[in-house]
Amino acid sequence: MSEETRLERGLRTRARIFGEEGEERRQAFAEASPAFAQFVTESVYGDLYARDGIDDKTRETVILSVLCAQGRDREFGYHAKAALRIGMTKEEIQEIILICAIYAGAPNAVGATDESLRVFKEFGV
Amino acid sequence: MSEETRLERGLRTRARIFGEEGEERRQAFAEASPAFAQFVTESVYGDLYARDGIDDKTRETVILSVLCAQGRDREFGYHAKAALRIGMTKEEIQEIILICAIYAGAPNAVGATDESLRVFKEFGV
Amino acid sequence: MSEETRLERGLRTRARIFGEEGEERRQAFAEASPAFAQFVTESVYGDLYARDGIDDKTRETVILSVLCAQGRDREFGYHAKAALRIGMTKEEIQEIILICAIYAGAPNAVGATDESLRVFKEFGV
Amino acid sequence: MSEETRLERGLRTRARIFGEEGEERRQAFAEASPAFAQFVTESVYGDLYARDGIDDKTRETVILSVLCAQGRDREFGYHAKAALRIGMTKEEIQEIILICAIYAGAPNAVGATDESLRVFKEFGV
Amino acid sequence: MSEETRLERGLRTRARIFGEEGEERRQAFAEASPAFAQFVTESVYGDLYARDGIDDKTRETVILSVLCAQGRDREFGYHAKAALRIGMTKEEIQEIILICAIYAGAPNAVGATDESLRVFKEFGV
Amino acid sequence: MSEETRLERGLRTRARIFGEEGEERRQAFAEASPAFAQFVTESVYGDLYARDGIDDKTRETVILSVLCAQGRDREFGYHAKAALRIGMTKEEIQEIILICAIYAGAPNAVGATDESLRVFKEFGV
């Protein structure tokens, strides 16, 4: 019986976290840069997301915090959806942003809040 | 019976998380800027750290991630100590940095790793 | 006679600086994250903006500079409006951006300039 | 015979790199901040871009890398066009982004990739 | 009677703002990169610092805010000295940092505070 | 005949670019975080540095630019050494920093210049 490759594992993980929307983004992305798309699918989703030492919720907590600190509002929105999908609550996302407001500066937290408001409405939470 | 003020609660929380070292830093800090020291103790440690919606470990996960994304190595070291003090393991800190390596860039994760190595040695973990 | 609370003072200050538009943003914001909205209104607008040691124009100079350095164009636009409302001139905003061009990098200053152009047109200055 | 001024040399260089689109942006820009527009045209395009020690392709490599690290997606798009105009290939831009993914973090590289996809389509490459 | 060149004006301005210490830094700097040293002296100190639309104190307010937002503690210290030299008070620097704490994040403001403490002691303020 | 693994290729590339000093850093690093060290050696040095589409000098140009934009002075020094080792000249590094001064802000370029001065002296260039 053949073992799952890094690529296969990455695609499977990606689907679990981002759903259909993620697959559409991945395809547009692969068109823009096949090598980068491969790196992300294999090294990020295939290797890192498969590690035992960290659970899905903690990983998304790290990612949301970094995205807020970088002021990447749009990507914060993508991962706010991912966070809700893997079981994080609206309240937990709000608490993460609140801590970020102090450490990453209020403007970055404001951007993340605006983006999360859109996501909360889309998910009806 | 008198209620605890925001300042008292902040000082107590600060001591729990940073120990004696934190108290020394706070005093030097209060000398440099009394108003900023008061804001941090009251609004950050007194108010935010007292909220129910987020536990100590998740809060430190957010803070470590933001500090890594900002490239603030020294402050990452302070909070790596705080994280160990409130019960996070060495392995959990390493996993946080690993995720940051991808999202916040390898150089910021390298800086955080160097700093954490110092902290791990100091704590004998 | 009852004293003004931190919240009341914050709401009053916010209205003075951002006008009606600010109140609309605050309400959308409070919906997305009540605790963050409260923190901003009380600790930022209620406490910090009420301090004597810094006047409105200097405070907005600091905020505009930070927002430009962070590349937060949209929020720069909000505060460019606030700056005009509290009496800063178009020329002063342009000079701030020019200094930022050197210290925060030309691309961030370009983003702030584009945003300020929109604001100048809206205000007819 | 009169020598070219810094301003004239800057305008000529700017036209070579950004084409007509750049001239439109420059005019809107000069309206928003004449002093900043003059600084950019004279000191950046007139002086720095005229230096011998660095060729057009290396200069755009530096600029694209900085813009990706800053997360300035829109300006990355402007310079991706400039890069194609001065002879860089689509593949070279993709390789630059791929290195940035590791050093500047995946989210910034994702933003640059999305922007470059738009540019590649516009240029039919 | 000959007019002052951009370079001469830049050197004179630099001396006024940074004193002897600045001249030592400039010489080490000119050794590392003559072209960059020339650009800074001419375009920054010779042109921008000579502009009428902004006074010394407002300019240093902008620079301190940007440096705090970038987390460049050491350079914050250089400009805290410059600020004291051109007449800003210790209290004004503290107020700038306090606003930055909210907008640029507490860790960047902590770094600036530590640096300013050193400067305040050196200046005996 | 056995093929080289990703790890072996990474170790070989790393040695070529960073020399002995890099190996010492790698070992300290592997002690602090084995998983991160493995990721860097395999995915960064083993995969990305082995790609055909970009030569060593262009890759280091990208990396130096990103590090300057992030204000990571120390890591800029490491890669300034790597750049000299793979054949970049002192003058080319100076030109890169000069472009960064405009795009990434003068303070980040000042930090990179100070660091490069140390490296130039160590290499006697």
Q: Which residue of B has its CA nearest to E92?
A: B33
What is the value of ipTM here, to two decimals? Answer: 0.94
pLDDT at E73: 98
When pLDDT is cut at 50, 70 and 90, the band that residue B105 belongs to is: very high
A1 has pLDDT over 70 = no
pLDDT at B109: 97
Pick the closest to residue D64 from D40, D47, D81, D51 (CA basis): D81
Residue position matching structure tokens 């000959």: E2
Confidence of residue D2 (pLDDT cuts 50, 70, 90): low
Which among B29, B39, B71 is the nearest to E98, CB-wise? B39
Spatial distance between the Cα atoms of E66 and E87, rounded to a whole number of angstroms: 19
Query: Rounded mean pLDDT of chain D?
Result: 93
Angle of helix D106-123 relative to helix D90-103, nearest 10 degrees, comes to: 170
Residues ≥6 apart with Cβ < 8 Å to D72: C71, C107, C108, C111
Query: Could you tell me how far CA D69 lies from the centroid of its own chain?
Result: 14
pLDDT tens, position by position, C27-44: 888 888 899 999 999 989
Say what the pLDDT of residue C7 is: 92
Would you say residue D118 has pLDDT above 80? yes
**Contacts of E among chains (3+ CB pairs under 8 A):** A, B, C, D, F
Nearest by CB to residue E71, choosing from F71, F98, F101, is F71
At residue E91, the pLDDT reads 95
Q: What is the mean pLDDT of residues E58-84?
A: 97
pLDDT higher than 90, residue E107: yes
* Separation CA B10–CA B47 (nearest Å): 7
The residues, ordered by sequence, that sit 6+ positions from F105 with a Cβ below 8 Å of its Cβ are C69, C102, C103, C104, C105, C108, E66, E70
- Binding-site residues on chain D for chain B (CB distance < 8 A): 69, 102-108
Q: What is the mean pLDDT of chain A?
A: 93
Q: What is the mean pLDDT of chain E?
A: 93
Inter-CA distances, A63 with A57, A79, D7, F68, Å: 10, 8, 46, 24
- Which residues have C-beta within 8 Å of that of residue A2, sequence separation ≥ 6? none
| pLDDT tens-place string over residues D54-94 | 999 999 999 999 999 999 999 999 999 999 999 999 999 99
Instruction: Map tokens 């260089």 to a residue.
Output: D13
Among F91, B26, E49, residue whose Cα is nearest residue E40: E49
Beta carbons within 8 Å of A41's beta carbon, 6+ residues apart: A7, A10, A11, A14, A26
DSSP E10-46: HHHHHHHHHHHHHHHHHHHHHHH-HHHHHHIIIIIII
pLDDT beyond 60 at F89:
yes
Residue closest to A42 by CA, chosen among D101, D6, F74, E65: D101
Q: Which residues of A touch B (CB under 8 A)?
A: 43-44, 48, 51, 53-54, 58-59, 61-63, 65-70, 91-92, 94-96, 98-100, 102-104
DSSP character at residue C2: P
Measured at the CA of A109, the angle between CA B47 and CA C76, to 5 degrees, comes to: 125
Q: What share of chain F is helix, strand, coil (3-state, %, to 5)?
A: 85, 0, 15
Cα–Cα dist A27/A42, whole Å: 15
Residue range B71-86, pLDDT digits in tens: 999 999 999 999 999 9
Q: Does A92 have pLDDT greater than 70?
A: yes
Most confident of B60-69, D12-21, F3-12: B60-69
pLDDT in tens, F33-85: 899 999 999 989 998 888 888 999 999 999 999 999 999 999 999 999 999 99
* F86/F84 Cα distance (integer angstroms): 6
Sign of CA dihedral A43, A47, A53, A57: positive
Asked whether residue E98 carries a pLDDT value surpassing 90, the answer given is: yes
CB contact under 8 A, D51 and E43: no
B2 band by pLDDT with thresholds 50, 70 and 90: low
Q: Tokens standing for D39? A: 């600084």
Q: How far apart are CA C35 and CA A119, in angstroms?
A: 18
Cα–Cα distance list, A10 to A36, A68, E109 (Å):
13, 25, 40
Query: Residues of F near C (CB-CB distance < 8 A)?
Result: 69, 102-108
Q: Check whether B40 has a pLDDT greater than 70.
A: yes
Q: Please, which pLDDT band fits residue E106 given cuts at 50, 70 and 90?
A: very high
Give residue A2's pLDDT.
Answer: 65
Query: Which stretches of chain C drop beneath a pLDDT of 70?
Result: 1-2
Show the tokens assigned to F57. Answer: 């000098």
Judging contacts by C-beta atoms under 8 Å, the chain F residues touching residue D104 are: 66, 69-70
pLDDT value at F25 more than 60:
yes
**Dihedrals phi, psi of A5, to nearest 5 degrees:** -80, 170
**Chain E residues with CB inside 8 Å of D35's CB?**
51, 53
Q: Choose, out of C33, C47, C62, the residue to mutate when testing the contact with B (most B CBs < 10 Å).
A: C47
Residue F29: per-residue pLDDT: 85
Residue with tokens 């309240």: A91
pLDDT band at B12 (very low <50, low <70, confident <90, very high): very high
User: What residue type is D120 in one-letter code?
Assistant: F
Amino acid identity, position D48: L
Q: How confident is the model at residue E66 (pLDDT cuts 50, 70, 90)?
A: very high
CA-CA-CA-CA torsion for D29, D31, D32, D38, nearest 10 degrees? 60
Examine the pLDDT at D1 and tell me if it is beyond 80: no
User: What is the model's pLDDT at position B50?
Assistant: 86
